[in-house]
Amino acid sequence: DAKTTQPPSMDCAEGRAANLPCNHSTISGNEYVYWYRQIHSQGPQYIIHGLKNNETNEMASLIITEDRKSSTLILPHATLRDTAVYYCIVRAYDKIIFGKGTRLHILP
């Protein structure tokens, strides 16, 4: 089973920041937090990952709480092209166990 809990869906207005939460209270010390997204009928796209420090790249920022039991993915200026299912995953190595993710709707 997936080790994360995410809301099934969220809405965000275009141009605003989208903040997607994830709970992973049973995360182990060697497990990373990964975020992927999947736009309709495409393969999952890697977004960002982190261990315990906050991370930022050209796509998003990842905020991990100090106790590592939850995290937030931030898309700073959401566009219609960010409409997708977002998966939060914790893993140390090899296979990924996906949950159902959060379906993010960007509203024009």
Partner 1 sequence: DTGVSQDPRHKITKRGQNVTFRCDPISEHNRLYWYRQTLGQGPEFLTYFQNEAQLEKSRLLSDRFSAERPKGSFSTLEIQRTEQGDSAMYLCASSSDRAEETQYFGPGTRLLVL
Q: Which residues pair with 68 in a beta bridge?
A: none
Span near partner 1 by CB under 8 A; candidates 10-18, 19-27, 35-43, 57-65: 35-43
Query: From CA 95, how far away is CA 17, in angstroms rounded?
Result: 31
Query: From CA 34, how far away is CA 44, in angstroms rounded?
Result: 12
Find the binder of partner 1 among 7, 25, 26, 46 (CB under 8 A): 46
Find the binder of partner 1 among 3, 49, 52, 105 (CB under 8 A): 49
Number of H helices, E strands in the chain: 0, 9
Instruction: Give SS3 for 80.
Output: helix
If one asks whether residue 35 binds partner 1 (CB under 8 A), the answer comes out as no
Minimum distance from CB of 13 to partner 1 (Å)? 26
How many residues form the binding site for partner 1 (CB under 8 A)?
22
| Length of the chain in terms of residues written | 108
Residues that bind partner 1 (CB under 8 A): 2, 32, 34, 36, 41-46, 49, 85, 87, 93-101
